[in-house]
């Protein structure tokens, strides 16, 4: 029998093992942090000037609008690491080794998704710090900023389960990389992550406003910038959203995605490895 | 009474509905021996190991390892087995020691126990010196050794090694053979697969020859060799393999076996020297030029060729290691 403590310990061991890889292969961490920071700087300085004209001026610079969004973009991008990491372990035979041990069955997938969220947490902290240096200010206080980051990480965690499923379906790291990004690009770009949805054609806006990445970006923004953000965003104001209702909606998405994706991933895992 | 430790009965497994990787195969062997599973690429060796190590549920059949039904009680079986798969499944970015401690911890050893066990195992496989280097700096042979080490951390009763020495230079291979023999001397039972006859010949107490998912022969190396029927005549010829074989067939001495890789034709020689003379006469009559013709003891290679019609891999073994292992 595997006890609950043993299971927790196995998950911890596998999580640590997966995280260690980022520390021991410094170029891995370097490139996975340089890229998001570069995105932040490019969007802020290249598009910021023209995007700023279409957002309410009450939040100050575009960076205040951008940073909450780009945090969400990042956790979603970071989730693709789950697909890639799993396929690499599958190919290397590491998963066979783990499965031949009398360890908790859940530890491989749980350890993988936890580690990838852990890495995302690091990247986001770094990005927030860089954002601060170039003018970002959490207008609604530190606690709300932390809550926004935690929610974003929760969303990243749910996307990790989607990516676990993708990886187990495609089976090779190369395919996992491209297949993982396929659903992510439309979700991230047809959203309020970088620009207000009000500038999009109405058919696209109605998609964008109702998909989870926008929900999370709006929630992060409402938390970080305060009620004024909701007031300045016509479709949010019209729907009578509050910070509380946005947080609940975000939680619902997170739980919903995990509830759907995790069983698929687990089933795929069993089928792939057995 | 023999103490059967691994018993697989009528295992069938099909991949994708078409590839019958295991075709009603039954294997069993007793505690304390090295069982060698010998077969060409795609024979089903890895698939059988995956079934026996709980990684794969077969379509049908049953399998017991150390008294535990691996299909019904995978978890129980995992307590008894160790597996070193066909690839060295070790983490390059961890040190050798860390890899082993991690495995120990997954066996629910405490941190201290896991450390001690890692030390023991490192010593046993002669990796103590390199223990604190990242595994990515290891040679292929060292990685295989570490992988073997990881598979014995849990003190398995039965150890499964899938082609433990493939892709390893002859010296490292000798080192691994030594370690394997020591493990068995300490009471571990071992199943190893190989494509190298020399390896099966030198290590295995008993050999099962597998092809197309079926066990096509089994016995000690000597028993298998006598299956070929005593001595064989080996004819070295250039590019005339087919015409040599035709001539021998016409002379109706015995069915010739062609080995294109080594450019030889062999035939069983039931009457030894008399058979040799007959062969020489037949070849002489047909006017085919041969480089060399000789009578020799059969090797497992001949067994393999006779049974499967396929040549095996050459085993590069250094001179000093030649000679039969005593059992
Ligand atoms: N996951 C899989 N999906 C489909 N076919 C498979 C799979 N694994 C193995 N096979 C097929 O099953 C057969 C047996 O394969 P197996 O890997 O057991 O052979 P093997 O004896 O280990 O060969 P090798 O010496 O090359 O390692 C082969 O025809 C192989 O193509
Ligand atoms: Mg194989």
Same domain? For B207 and B256 the reply is no
Same domain? For B239 and B297 the reply is yes
Q: Which of B224, B241, B268 is the last residue of a domain?
A: B224
Alpha-carbon span A118 to A125, nearest angstrom: 11
B252 lies in which domain range? 228-326
Same domain? For B290 and B312 the reply is yes
Q: CB–CB of B79 and A25 under 8 A?
A: no
For A210-253, give the DSSP string: HSHHHHHHHHHHHHHH-HHHHHHSHHHHHHT--HHHHHHHHHHH
Same domain? For B51 and B189 the reply is yes
Residue of chain A nearest B76, judged by CA positions: A102
- Token code pair at residue B246: 């035709």
Same domain? For B183 and B40 the reply is yes
Same domain? For B234 and B205 the reply is no
Low-confidence ranges of chain A (pLDDT < 50): none
Indicate the residue of A21, A97, A101 with minimum beta-carbon distance to B107.
A101
Sheet of B68-69: strands edge to edge? B19-30, B4-15, B60-65, B68-69
Structural contact between residues B147 and B111, judged by C-beta atoms closer than 8 angstroms: no
Same domain? For B122 and B151 the reply is yes
Q: Which CATH number does the domain housing residue B172 bear?
A: 3.40.50.300
* 3-state class (DSSP) for residue B3: coil
> Tens digit of pLDDT per residue, chain B (327 long)?
578 999 999 999 999 888 899 999 999 999 999 999 998 888 999 999 999 999 999 999 999 999 999 999 999 999 999 999 888 889 999 999 999 999 999 999 999 999 999 999 999 888 999 999 999 999 988 999 999 999 999 999 999 999 998 878 888 888 889 999 999 998 999 999 988 777 888 899 999 999 899 998 899 988 887 776 677 888 888 777 888 888 888 776 677 888 777 788 888 777 778 888 888 888 888 888 888 888 887 776 777 777 766 555 444 433 333 333 333
Pocket of ligand 1, beta carbon within 6 A = B 15-16, 19, 21, 39, 41-47, 86, 195
Alpha-carbon distances, residue B127 vs A64, A155, B85, B146, B202 (angstroms): 55, 44, 19, 8, 24
Same domain? For B109 and B208 the reply is yes
Q: Which of B167, B197, B224 is the last residue of a domain?
A: B224
The reported pLDDT for the residue numbered B312 is 52
Domain count, chain B: 2
Q: Which CATH number does the domain housing residue B298 bear?
A: 3.30.70
Alpha-carbon span B37 to B209, nearest angstrom: 6
pTM of the model: 0.84
* 3-state class (DSSP) for residue B136: helix
- Say how many C-beta atoms besides its own lie within 10 A of residue A210's C-beta: 11
User: With an 8 Å Cβ cutoff, is A260 touching chain B?
Assistant: no
Same domain? For B162 and B14 the reply is yes
The reported pLDDT for the residue numbered B327 is 34
Same domain? For B163 and B250 the reply is no
Same domain? For B283 and B190 the reply is no
Q: Give the residue, by CA position, lying nearest to ligand 1 atom 1.
A: B15
Q: How far is the CA of B44 from the centre of ligand 1 (A)?
A: 6
A12 to chain B, closest Cα gap in Å: 10
Indicate the residue of A10, A24, A100 with minimum beta-carbon distance to B55.
A100
ipTM given for this complex: 0.88
Same domain? For B132 and B68 the reply is yes
Q: Give the residue, by CA position, lying nearest to ligand 1 atom 24.
A: B41
- Helices and strands: H and E segment counts in chain B: 11, 14
The reported pLDDT for the residue numbered B228 is 63
The ligand that comes nearest to the alpha carbon of residue B38 is 1
């Amino acid at each position: 029998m595997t006890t609950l403590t043993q299971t927790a310990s196995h998950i911890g061991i596998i999580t640590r093992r997966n995280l260690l890889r980022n520390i021991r292969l410094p170029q891995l961490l370097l490139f996975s942090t340089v890229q998001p920071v570069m995105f932040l700087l490019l969007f802020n300085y290249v598009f910021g000037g023209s995007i700023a004209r279409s957002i309410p001026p009450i939040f100050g610079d575009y960076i205040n609008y951008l940073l909450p969004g780009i945090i969400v973009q990042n956790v979603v991008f970071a989730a693709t690491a789950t697909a890639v990491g799993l396929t690499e372990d599958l190919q290397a035979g590491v998963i066979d080794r783990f499965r031949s041990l009398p360890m908790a069955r859940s530890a491989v997938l749980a350890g993988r998704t936890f580690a990838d969220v852990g890495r995302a947490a690091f990247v986001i902290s770094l990005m927030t710090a860089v954002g601060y240096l170039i003018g970002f200010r959490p207008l609604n206080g530190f606690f709300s900023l932390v809550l926004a980051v935690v929610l974003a990480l929760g969303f990243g965690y749910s996307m990790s389960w989607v990516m676990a499923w993708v990886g187990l379906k495609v089976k090779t790291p190369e395919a996992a990389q491209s297949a993982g990004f396929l659903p992510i690009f439309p979700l991230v770009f047809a959203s309020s992550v970088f620009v207000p949805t009000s500038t999009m054609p109405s058919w696209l806006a109605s998609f964008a406003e109702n998909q989870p990445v926008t929900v999370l970006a709006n929630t992060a923004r409402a938390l970080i910038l305060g009620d004024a953000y909701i007031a300045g965003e016509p479709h949010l104001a019209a729907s009578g959203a509050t910070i509380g209702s946005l947080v609940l909606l975000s939680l619902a998405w997170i739980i919903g995605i995990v509830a759907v994706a995790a069983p698929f991933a687990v089933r795929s895992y069993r089928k792939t490895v057995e | 009474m023999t103490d059967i430790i691994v018993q697989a009965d009528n295992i069938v497994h099909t991949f994708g509905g078409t590839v019958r990787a295991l075709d009603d195969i039954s294997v069993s062997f007793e505690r304390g021996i090295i069982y060698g599973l010998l077969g060409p690429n795609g024979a089903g060796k890895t698939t059988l190991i995956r079934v026996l190590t709980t990684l794969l549920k077969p379509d049908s059949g049953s399998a017991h390892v150390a008294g535990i039904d691996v299909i019904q009680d995978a978890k129980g079986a995992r307590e008894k087995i160790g597996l070193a798969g066909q690839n060295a499944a070790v983490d390059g970015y961890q040190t050798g020691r860390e890899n082993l401690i991690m495995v120990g911890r997954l066996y629910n050893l405490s941190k201290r126990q896991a450390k001690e066990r890692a030390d023991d195992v490192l010593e046993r496989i002669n990796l103590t010196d390199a223990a604190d280097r990242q595994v990515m700096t290891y040679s292929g042979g060292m990685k295989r050794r570490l992988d073997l080490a990881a598979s014995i951390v849990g003190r398995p009763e039965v150890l499964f090694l899938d082609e433990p020495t493939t892709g390893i230079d002859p010296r490292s291979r000798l080192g691994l053979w030594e370690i394997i023999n020591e493990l068995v001397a300490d009471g571990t039972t071992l199943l190893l697969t190989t494509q190298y006859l020399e390896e099966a010949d030198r290590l295995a107490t008993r050999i099962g020859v597998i092809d197309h998912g079926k066990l096509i022969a089994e016995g000690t190396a000597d028993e298998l060799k006598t299956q070929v029927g005593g001595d064989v005549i080996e004819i070295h010829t250039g590019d005339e393999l087919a015409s040599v074989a035709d001539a021998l067939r016409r002379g109706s001495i015995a069915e010739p076996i062609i080995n294109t890789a080594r450019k030889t034709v062999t035939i069983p020689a039931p009457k030894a020297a008399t058979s040799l003379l007959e062969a020489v006469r037949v070849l002489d009559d047909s006017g085919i030029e041969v480089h060399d013709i000789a009578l020799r003891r059969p090797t497992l290679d001949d067994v393999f060729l006779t049974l499967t019609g396929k040549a095996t891999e050459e085993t590069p073994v250094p001179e000093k290691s030649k000679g039969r292992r005593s059992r």
